[in-house]
Chain A
């Protein structure tokens, strides 16, 4: 089944404790991205990657890191999480080059930083 998976789905952590949220897709998509969704602010893009070893900042990259060493994986790293990073995070992928750019989203990761 074609899908985007994220792990963990739920995470409660403390300020300053490094964490990684994994994202993996099995559709051979070139493009992957991370979003956070907050009430009243909608979905905002954190980072995106056009292909392996190519990453770019979205609109809210501060406090996050990403890497794209393999086509299928795009982990999101929070080196020192803070409470303002409490949010619902979505990973997405798409077949870049398609005019439709349909984004296939993962199920989301709900992160709480205390």
Chain B
């Protein structure tokens, strides 16, 4: 089992749709989790951290399920500008070793 796995995608959705991405991780000792966004041929940028209690930032909601070892990202009212690849990131241990998922591509259509 890969250390971090994401929905393969691509997700093609119309504007205004709600879309959810899942990510599973295999190391139960992982402590920190994030979602990054990467536009085509650009550098990744932090979208949001994922906290144990779940967290929301505008149209974006991230949740963590430690028992099942997965994190999720929900995007409501999708915009054309949300089209990008979304990367799940897990910190392995306490030494700063970051593990990225392969990413899920989202395409929002008019």
Binds B, one of A36-44, A64-72, A77-85: A36-44
The answer to whether B91 touches A101 (Cβ under 8 A) is yes
Interface flag for A99 (CB, 8 Å): yes
Give 1 or 0 for each of A88-100: 1 = CB within 8 Å of chain B CB. Answer: 0010000010011
**Closest residue to B98 on the A side, CB-wise?**
A45
Which residues on the B side are within 8 Å of A96 (C-beta)? 96
Instruction: Name the one of B36, B49, B97, B100 contacting A100, with C-beta atoms under 8 angstroms.
Output: B49
The answer to whether B43 touches A90 (Cβ under 8 A) is yes
Q: With A and B bound together, what is the CA distance between A59 and B91 in angstroms? A: 13
Query: For residues 92 through 106 of chain B, which have their beta carbon under 8 Å from a beta carbon of chain A?
Result: 95-103
A99-B32, A101-B34 known; A42 vs B101 contact (CB < 8 Å): yes
Distance in Å: Cβ of A27 to nearest Cβ of chain B:
14
Which residues on the B side are within 8 Å of A106 (C-beta)? 43
Which residues on the B side are within 8 Å of A42 (C-beta)? 87, 100-103
Which residues on the A side are within 8 Å of B41 (C-beta)? 108
